[in-house]
Structure 1
Amino acid sequence: MKILFVEPALCLSAFAMTLAGPLTTQYMYRRIWEENGNYTFTNDKNFSQCKENKSSPILAFQEEVQKKVSLFNLQMDISGLIPGLVSSFILLSYSDHKGRKFPMILSCIGALATSVWLCLLSYFAFPYQLLIASTIIASFCGNSTTFLGACFAYIVDQCKEEKQRTFRIAITDFLLGLVTGLTGLSSGYFIRELGYMWSFLVITLALAVNLIYILFFLDDSMKDTSSQTVSISCSEAFKNLFNRTYMLFKNASSKRRSLLCLLLFTMITYFFVIIGASPIFILYELDSPLCWNEVFIGYGSALGSISFLSSFLGIWLFSYCMEDIYMAFIGIFTTMVGMAMTAFAKTTLVMFLVRLPFLFTAVPLSVLRSMMSAVVGSTEQGTLFACIAFLETLSGVISVSTFNGIYSATVAWYPGFIFLLSAVLLLTPLTSLCVAKCTSWNEGSYMRHTEVESSEDTSDR
């Protein structure tokens, strides 16, 4: 008997992705350290490779390693940009007619292939540059954004009411935060106790279990549409995909269209800053004066992931006394404060305290997804999330590439510059949300759009 709960698949994927992030970054840091200098990388548990003494000859080498790791991350992100964009858009748009499971399965296979390759790379010490090839291949299968988009569309398929939709998405983000928090907390111990190869093997096993669950235990939320098979050419199929996206905006009223565009712009610009700055935290913590080891980095990741729990609680409490749009305002503003504080964090205590302003970082993402899903019709959810995934993939790769490039150029004279820049950039989604409130938004407006759509569907019948 199959079930309609996608949350286990989300949690397994979150575990694998959260563990793979810091693991891959630190593995690259170690490989580049060992292959580009005469300094031995020690495994002493109480020792960090970082040097704070400005007169130490290792300091210049340390900064050079920082630059090379950042630039290699940039190359990997750019290499997977185009295939990731194409696969995300096609897979999620097609899910409106063929079901949500297929993009989940394909993106899981891509992640599994990458983790297997990382196991081989660490065991046989192949040139780390070969990781770029696996990134390109995996991107054709979709990426984590594709997987999340399919899962959120799967959830929205089962939620007909606005409050139910917002709460269900908030619960999902809470589960993601809980898993990523625990995983981040333990990531340093995985490296320390198991080493890189066995840690990558744990990720591989988690993704394999996830694939089995999706294939054999998860039911499709749109199985009634899967039987509607129409034989059309490949060019016609592509034309239909883009046509559905075009009609998503064309068929909408001017007010609904402007609201949807503003919400999309707000979410993507916010996502741009959050995703771009996230990997820089690890490099910033590895560098002086913090000089964190893998365990402290794990603690920092765990504290950062608490924002999913606090965001869930915030949505749950704030929903009783304010509109969704005000919750988004709070999340963006507090995140902006956190970025500004990070730029001046010079001690371990302050770096831990910096996580406090990030408590509501996930609120805008959850709320804006819910608001946009309520603006469009029930048969347009896959197309909407395809647009979101497409834009998230594009902005994510561009932002990570941009932020890594800026950090590489500024780390020598002021490592915290990138976080000050992030705080300034967050003024953009804050401004666009103000415009949405002043021009296209009033209480319950997007609920009325849903009611109009329902009445039109009824009259068509």
Structure 2
Amino acid sequence: MVLPTPCQAILVVIQQTDPAIVLEQMGTAFFHNGLAMVVKDRSVNATYPNTSLSKDESQQKFISDFTMIHALIDHVAHVLPALFLAKIGDRGWKKVPIVVSLFGSLQSSLMLLLVIHFHFPLEVMFGAAILSAMCGGLCSFWSSVMTLSLLSSTVANRSKAMVKLELLCGITNLVANLVSGHLFLLFSSSLGRGTFQLSLSTLLILLCLIHVIVLLQVNVIEREAEEGYQPVSDASTNAPAGMNKVNVLLVYAATMLYTFGHNGAESLLNTFLMKEPLNWNAIQLGYVSATGSVINITSFLGVVVFRRCVGEILLILIGMVSYASGIFLMSFVTTAYMFYLARTLNMFSLIPLPIIRILLSQQVPASSLVVTFTSLHISMKLASLAYVPAFTEIYQSTLSWFPGFIFTLSSIVTVLGMIPISIIRCRSHRRHQYERIPGN
């Protein structure tokens, strides 16, 4: 029996990665926002007897220390498991890294729920982070999801597939973050603050896991002339058929600097907003996370609009300028309207990384896509060994005289990241001029 067209369309959508992305993003957004608020609640009793810290500074130290340790575990411990799972994925078991990483996310959400309900020590979450990392972490999930999205698209449509993925993540995160603060306070008197939100997070991740195991289909579109595949030239850089190692190193340098500046500041943004004079609560912090989702959407729209008139290099520079200007203004934020003004300047700040991923996908064979994306994720995560403790220590040291100094530092590092990208553009422009002489 032939299914009606609407039913066929629904079945096709269900068998793609889109439902898994929506469920996973919703679940993890509820988890991370809930974890931030649980840490804030526990910081009320934080004391440091051997120091001269005030109560507010003690709470800030407790929150930033926990955030630093949790981030280091999350960013570093998954390196070897993620590489191992990537190898399995490239050998044909594309769904295995996704399933294993979701098991890790499920146990983290469940563990935080137990911490709230049974009043376990907050340090239990460090163990949950280690277990999640042993399952490959979000690195394995996203590397594999991006690979499936790209393999189910033709080479010509891969850039569209990547920006569509970013847009879907942005919209889903926007919805999740807008409601997460309200969910955290729901039934707080009878069940405990955050119980309902973390229960919903656990359920969503479980549904995502079931979807991936039962419904998700791996559809691979054969690449044109795979054996003789050559990298697609970048219109903005006129890339040669062979790999330009100098340019590759410059791109990696720019990526590391941008990651250092962007992630270093973002990791402490909620901590900064929890202190006086802002002292934001769960609902307001949910809105903060929602602004990040809006930036995801505006960055997608920026790619769609700007790509018509500029190349990849200029797109990356536009994104870096957007972030550097907005995060510099964040240094002086003392009111809500100043925060949202700074976030408005950040509206194109997530453009650089998707463009870099698109370029990488055009230069490697399909059999190596999982390893390629996993390696890129791991390189950025390993940078956290430097930026997480560095930014945390600087933030704690400057609390008394300039709490926003870390954002100024982030702006400076982001501007430095523009230098390698600018060098690539100069090298490519010079090579383009040389190549035009014989034709003339």
Q: For the structure 1 residues 150 and 16, does the alpha-carbon distance in structure 2 shift closer, same or farther, using more than 3 Å as the test?
A: same
Of the three residues 160, 169, 188, the one matched with 1:167 is 160
Are 1:314 and 1:360, in contact at CA under 8 Å, matched by a contact in 2?
Answer: yes
Query: Post-superposition, which runs of at least 4 consecutive aligned residues in structure 1 deviate over 6 A?
Result: 441-444
CA RMSD of aligned residues (A): 2.5
Hey, what does 2:18 align to over in structure 1? 7
Hey, what does 1:78 align to over in structure 2? 72
Q: For the structure 1 residues 338 and 323, does the alpha-carbon distance in structure 2 shift closer, same or farther, using more than 3 Å as the test?
A: same
- Alignment-mate amino acid for residue 19 of structure 1: F
Partner Cα separation in structure 2 for residue 169 and residue 212 of structure 1: 24
Post-superposition shift, 1:324? 1.8
Are 2:326 and 2:344, in contact at CA under 8 Å, matched by a contact in 1?
Answer: yes
Are 1:344 and 1:416, in contact at CA under 8 Å, matched by a contact in 2?
Answer: yes
Please report the TM-score for the alignment, with normalisation by the length of structure 2.
0.84
- Alignment-mate amino acid for residue 343 of structure 2: R
Of the three residues 278, 283, 287, the one matched with 1:290 is 278
Partner Cα separation in structure 2 for residue 428 and residue 316 of structure 1: 26
Hey, what does 1:374 align to over in structure 2? 362
- Alignment-mate amino acid for residue 103 of structure 1: P
Structure 1 window deviating more from structure 2 (397-406 vs 354-363): it is 397-406
Hey, what does 2:28 align to over in structure 1? 17
Post-superposition shift, 1:285? 1.0
Which residues of structure 1 form unaligned runs of 5+?
A: 38-58, 225-251, 445-461
Partner Cα separation in structure 2 for residue 326 and residue 376 of structure 1: 23
Post-superposition shift, 1:422? 0.2
Are 2:74 and 2:137, in contact at CA under 8 Å, matched by a contact in 1?
Answer: no
Post-superposition shift, 1:266? 2.4
Hey, what does 2:230 align to over in structure 1? none
Partner Cα separation in structure 2 for residue 220 and residue 349 of structure 1: 46
Q: For the structure 1 residues 347 and 269, does the alpha-carbon distance in structure 2 shift closer, same or farther, using more than 3 Å as the test?
A: same
Hey, what does 1:33 align to over in structure 2? 44
Aligned length: 396
Higher RCO (Cα < 8 Å, 6 or more apart):
1
Partner Cα separation in structure 1 for residue 409 and residue 79 of structure 2: 26
Q: For the structure 1 residues 396 and 155, does the alpha-carbon distance in structure 2 shift closer, same or farther, using more than 3 Å as the test?
A: farther
Please report the TM-score for the alignment, with normalisation by the length of structure 1.
0.80
Of the three residues 307, 319, 324, the one matched with 1:331 is 319
1:13-36 CA distances to partner (integer Å, 9 max, x unpaired)? 211222222221221111121364
1:131-146 alignment runs, 5 A limit: 131-146=125-140
Of the three residues 173, 176, 182, the one matched with 1:183 is 176
Post-superposition shift, 1:187? 1.7
Q: For the structure 1 residues 146 and 397, does the alpha-carbon distance in structure 2 shift closer, same or farther, using more than 3 Å as the test?
A: farther
Hey, what does 2:400 align to over in structure 1? 412
Hey, what does 1:157 align to over in structure 2? 151
Are 1:159 and 1:165, in contact at CA under 8 Å, matched by a contact in 2?
Answer: yes
Q: For the structure 1 residues 154 and 259, does the alpha-carbon distance in structure 2 shift closer, same or farther, using more than 3 Å as the test?
A: farther
Partner Cα separation in structure 2 for residue 265 and residue 221 of structure 1: 34
Are 2:148 and 2:219, in contact at CA under 8 Å, matched by a contact in 1?
Answer: yes
Post-superposition shift, 1:440? 4.8
Of the three residues 96, 108, 117, the one matched with 2:111 is 117
Hey, what does 2:186 align to over in structure 1? 193
Partner Cα separation in structure 2 for residue 400 and residue 111 of structure 1: 22
1:281-312 CA distances to partner (integer Å, 9 max, x unpaired)? 11111111222222222222212321111111
Are 2:46 and 2:59, in contact at CA under 8 Å, matched by a contact in 1?
Answer: no
Are 1:111 and 1:143, in contact at CA under 8 Å, matched by a contact in 2?
Answer: yes
The answer as to 2:424 corresponding to 1:436 is yes
Which residues of structure 2 form unaligned runs of 5+?
A: 1-10, 188-192, 223-239, 433-440
Partner Cα separation in structure 1 for residue 79 and residue 109 of structure 2: 21
Post-superposition shift, 1:4? 5.0
